[in-house]
Amino acid sequence: MTESADDQQILRLASSAAASLGSWQIAGFVIGDAWRTGGGRCGALAPELAGELRTLPETGGPVTTLGATWAWAYPLRSIAGPLGYLVVHAAREPALEEQFLAQVLAQQAGVAVSNAQLHGRERDTAVQLAATNEALEETVATLRRGMAIHERLTRVAAAGEGAAGLAEALHDLTGLAVAVEDRYGNLSAWVGPGQPARYPKLPAYDREQLLRRLMTAGRSVRDGDRVVALASPRPGVLGLLALMDPGHRAGTTDVMALEHGATVLAVELARLRGMADTELRVRRELVHDLLTGTDDESAYRRAEALDYDLGRPHQVAVVEVPDSAPAQEDVLHATRRAVRQQQLPCLLGTMAGTVVVVAAGGGRDWEALRAGIVAELADGRCRMGVGDACPRPSELPRSLREARLALRLQKASAAAARTSVYADLDVLRMLAAVDDLSDVEAFVRKWLGPLASYDERKHTELVKTLTQYLQHGGGYEATSRALSVHRSTLKYRLQRIRELTGFDLGDPEIRFNLQLATRAYVTLRALSDDGA
């Protein structure tokens, strides 16, 4: 009986042995606050019996609440203290020898139950210890996994492997395909199987909702067949990191790796963004100084720090859009995309409401660049003036003045938006180079004075009409299209010009002088706008 670890079995054995020990029978066992029979039934202890047992001495004693002629409660003891009672009863008082055997049975049953309870506690302790060890092993494994993740991703960050290196490391750690998106949802890097031919960029509204979920959660979230984390070290999103998990098998350590990777990605993207911002600022400062005047040595040194070669001849191009066109920054971005497409080595900046391109000179198709800028602009309109190439950086302010003058000459001539290269201006360029303009002004007054005065008084466009007529070789159709007027309107204006000037527009010498005068007129207007 003492070898059993089951207290219920012990009570059954004690009940079975009682029949051979005397004329008494076992009524039941009191274990704690419960009443248990030898047959295994268990119930609440009757209040009357409980009250009577509380009054008994440690050695036990008679009980009367069972209604038997004779009933006795023998204590069940353990080393730690009392366990309860063995309650027996008989039709008459048993002999002393039989009572002694009942007492011995109670002692053995108490020892056996005590041992069984001890074994039970040890068994529970062993089970709890095994569970604790298992949990501890899992914790240690998680910590080791976390350390491995930390070490791997830290190496990626320290080596400056960028988004691609981070995606490769995360793929190795999780076994899942990894995608890195920029702040706009475009794919920056993909490592792992299943890369789509065209990355499924979320619509703007859906992406905004996902970003809000991520910001609210403060950690990674599941988005359909992927788990995503936000790379955002400060207000504003820098990118997203995603585990492609259509099988929903990403575990705790996989999510840990993703979130740690998102932190590394945020730091890396912030670093790259800071470097880009710094380089952009330094480039703009260099462009400003080149155009306002700086020494060659300083310019070469600063350009070399930006990995840009200023040793070749450079020239300046000025890009200007109408007042109703996109903002200056939009024009700058459009120009940047266009020069990248044209593979034009250059420095970009802004000055006085225009975008300025400082480019390596020589055989450039500037009109193609202007067309590229127009294609990038929503408004689709811009003019460009290009100055001469300068062998040294300190001469670039002259190229800027030439580019601006070329732009003003184009606008003053009322020509359509196009590219004006200072080197191609010929007569206009020669006139602009004259130091004393008094003779030029007198020449213009002689040939165009009546028309200019009439235009000023009547708010007409006779000088402009004559200019376009001469530029188009006297062709009515081409001139009408250039002026956007009906042919009859053009004929009326030409007749009015003949009446005001008395000139025969068919005379070659008169046409030559008028053509020269109109070009001089345009040049004077452009120089006047320049403050010359």
The span from the CA of 242 to the CA of 225, in Å, is 10
DSSP assigned state of 242: E
530 has pLDDT over 80: no
CATH architecture under which domain 160-273 falls? 2-Layer Sandwich (3.30)
Give 191 or 151, the one with higher predicted confidence: 191
Backbone angles phi, psi at 252, to 5 degrees: -60, -45
- In the predicted model, is pLDDT for residue 324 greater than 60? no
C-alpha span between 169 and 264 (Å, rounded): 12
Q: What is the pLDDT of residue 314?
A: 94
Q: Which residue has the higher pLDDT, 427 or 196?
A: 196
Q: Is the pLDDT of residue 416 over 90?
A: no
Structure tokens that stand for 384 in this block: 């460009």
Residue 37 has pLDDT above 70, yes or no: yes
CATH for 7-124 is 3.30.450.40
Give the position of tokens 């008169």. Answer: 510
CA atoms within 13 A on the CB side of 400: 21
List helix spans (H) across 160-188. Answer: 162-174
Q: What is the pLDDT of residues 168-178, one digit of tens each?
A: 999 998 999 99
pLDDT in the model for residue 531: 47
| Predicted local distance difference test score (pLDDT) of residue 39 | 67
| 269 neighbors 239 (Cβ within 8 angstroms) | yes
**What percentage of residues in the chain have a pLDDT greater than 90?**
20
| CA dihedral sign, ordered 325, 331, 333, 336 | positive
Residue 337 exposed, middle or buried by CB count within 10 Å (0-12, 13-18, 19+): middle
**Nearest in space to 104 (alpha carbons), one of 45, 22, 32, 12:** 22
Question: Whose CA is closest to 21, among 95, 113, 109, 110?
Answer: 95
- For 248-281, letters b (16+ CB in 10 Å) and e give eebeebbbbbbbbbbbbbbebbbeeeeeeeeeee
How much helix, strand and coil, in percent to the nearest 5, is found in the chain? 55, 15, 30
CATH 3.30.450.40 in the chain, residues?
7-124, 160-273
List Cα–Cα distances, 524 to 106, 408, 433, 440, 467, in angstroms: 131, 10, 11, 8, 14
What rounded mean pLDDT belongs to the chain? 85
Class level of CATH domain 431-529: mainly alpha
Region 154-163 average pLDDT: 80
Highest mean pLDDT pick, 25-39, 146-160, 230-244, 452-466: 452-466
Residue 532 has pLDDT above 50, yes or no: no
Q: What dotted CATH number matches 293-425?
A: 3.30.70.2730
Ranges in the chain annotated CATH 3.30.70.2730: 293-425
pLDDT (average), residues 251-277: 84
Measured between its terminal Cα atoms, the distance across the chain in Å is 123
Strands 239-244 and 177-182: antiparallel
Lowest mean pLDDT among 179-188, 431-440, 481-490: 431-440
Per-residue pLDDT averaged across 118-131, rounded?
Answer: 83
Per-residue pLDDT reduced to its tens digit, 421-436: 888 877 666 666 666 6
Residue 211 pLDDT > 60, yes or no?
yes
Taking only the tens place, the pLDDT of each residue in 287-323 is: 899 999 999 999 999 999 888 899 999 999 999 887 6
